[in-house]
Amino acid sequence: MIKAPLSALLLLVAMTSTLGKYIPKSGKRIPQTLSRGWGDQLIWAQTYEEALYWSRSKNKPLMVIFHLEDCPHSQAMKKAFSENNEIQRTLDEDFIVLNLVYETTDKHLSPDGQYVPRLIFVDPSMTVRADITGRYANRMYAYETSDTKLLLSNMEKAKKLLKSEL
C-alpha cells in the first residue's frame, strides 16, 4: 500500500532537483574547460599572474599558448598538441601551462607581434625566453603541426633554466 505514494514522492524529489537548477533558455551547456582543448589532463593556470606565481614557486618553466577558437591554424595545432603524449607528459611533469585567447598587457609576450598560434616560454626568473624560436623568420614563435619535434626540443631548452643573477 505504501509503495505507490513513496515512488511518487521519489519522482517528485527527482523532478524538483532537476527543475531546481538553472538552465539557460537556449538549452543546457557543456561546462567550459580551462584547457580549451589543449590537454584536459594538464593543470592550467587561468591568468598570466597565476602562471608566473606557479612558475616561480615550483621553479618550473612556463609555456604560454596564444590561440583563437575559430582560427584553423590554432585548431590544427591544438589537435596535434593535445594528441601528442610526449608533449603532454613533459608539460604535465616539468612545466606550468597557460593558454590564452586574449592578449595580456605585457608587451614582452609579443616579441615580434601579436598573432596566433604563438608559443612563448618564460623562465622561472620571469624572463621571457625570446631566444627559443620556431622555424619561421616572420613569425618566430609560431609552430605548425609538422613542427612537434622542434617544439619538443625547444621544451628541452626551456627546461635548462637561466642562472639567476642574484
**Min. distance of Cβ 90 from its own copies in angstroms?**
10
Under the criterion CB under 8 A, does residue 101 sit at the interface with its own copies? yes
In the chain, what's the furthest Cα-to-Cα distance? 82
Under the criterion CB under 8 A, does residue 32 sit at the interface with its own copies? yes
Residue numbers 123-162 binding its own copies by CB under 8 A: none
Binder among 7, 13, 41, 113 for its own copies (CB under 8 A):
41
* Contact between residue 24 and residue 36 where contact means Cβ atoms under 8 Å apart: no
Under the criterion CB under 8 A, does residue 104 sit at the interface with its own copies? yes
Judged on CB neighbours under 10 Å (0-12, 13-18, 19+), 140 is middle
DSSP 128: B
Judged on CB neighbours under 10 Å (0-12, 13-18, 19+), 165 is exposed
Binder among 12, 14, 33, 152 for its own copies (CB under 8 A):
33
Under the criterion CB under 8 A, does residue 88 sit at the interface with its own copies? yes
Distance CA 101, CA 67 (A): 5
Under the criterion CB under 8 A, does residue 100 sit at the interface with its own copies? yes
User: Which residues here bind its own copies, judged by CB under 8 A?
Assistant: 20-24, 28-29, 31-35, 39-41, 43-44, 46-50, 53, 83, 85, 88-89, 92, 100-105
